[in-house]
Amino acid sequence: MGFARVCRHSEIDWFGDWQKNNDVEDAIRNQCDTWLFKKYNRDLGGDEKKPFFDKIEWLRKRILLKGNNTTKARMIADSWFPKVEELAKKYFYAKFLSGNVKIFKVPENRHQHKEPYMKFGDLTGIKMWHDKSKIPDNGKGTDGGKTSPNDQMALYNAVKSMRYPTTGKALSWDDTCKKIGEMQQLGQIKYSSNIFEKNGTWLGATYQKLKKKFEN
């Protein structure tokens, strides 16, 4: 928030990039003058971006009504104001501070920007493979491997206090995993693997194994 305000005060242009609208707090979103939308949907935009979707629909309807909903009118509507949900990868909408919207073609990069559908092997001709037998399956949880019993107990108690507190609101498994990962980075928790890279599913399975170990 402080960075956004400094940029505005100093007349510095800054760019933010995120997927779900509410991933960034509203105080920062409200600092934005221009919004750029690639292929997007109402669920990700939420109520705040509903007027943008409604405006595109309104512009399309104007063209269709004026053209009596003919095939030609539909082609013009799809060309001038395509649905945001069906926008081609090489185009994006810009919504300006005035409320006006305009469609632009994505400029060519001087470097190759990898899209999700692109495969490394196809792009480079370099084939890669992995010996999956050497990769531990952490998704099912673990009792700690080389972690000492005392450190396992410390992990168990820390998770229990966050998931099942005697007072206050319990954290979700994902939030608990994040907090435990931060504690590990600060040296408050010792464990044989990097908890910060795990998720709530892994932590829940690990907790259940530790619970059987220490409560039985």
Residues of the domain holding 26 = 1-32
Same domain, 40 and 74: yes
pLDDT tens digits for range 115-127: 777 888 888 888 8
- In this prediction, residue 140 carries a pLDDT of 46
Q: Is residue 125 part of a domain?
A: no
* Domain assignment present for 132: no
The pLDDT score that the predictor gives to residue 137 is 56
Q: Which residues are 36's β-sheet partners?
A: 94
Task: Indicate whether 174 belongs to any domain.
Answer: yes
Task: Look at residue 16 and tell me if it is in a domain.
Answer: yes
Strands of 101-105's sheet, edge to edge?
35-37, 91-95, 101-105
Kindly state whether residue 63 falls inside one of the protein's structural domains: yes
Q: Are residues 161 and 179 in the same domain?
A: yes
Total count of residues recorded for the chain: 216
User: In this structure, is residue 122 part of a structural domain?
Assistant: no
Q: Please give the pLDDT value at position 132.
A: 64
On whether residue 121 sits in a domain, the answer given is no
Burial of 42 (0-12, 13-18, 19+ CB in 10 A): middle
**Residue 160: inside a domain, yes or no?**
yes
Find the range with the poorest average confidence among 20-29, 53-62, 99-108, 113-122.
Answer: 113-122
Torsion angle of alpha carbons 128, 133, 134, 140, nearest 10°?
Answer: 120
Asked if pLDDT for residue 73 goes beyond 50, the answer is yes
Number of domains in the chain: 3
Q: What percent of the chain has pLDDT over 90?
A: 42
Tell me, yes or no, whether 27 and 43 share the same domain: no
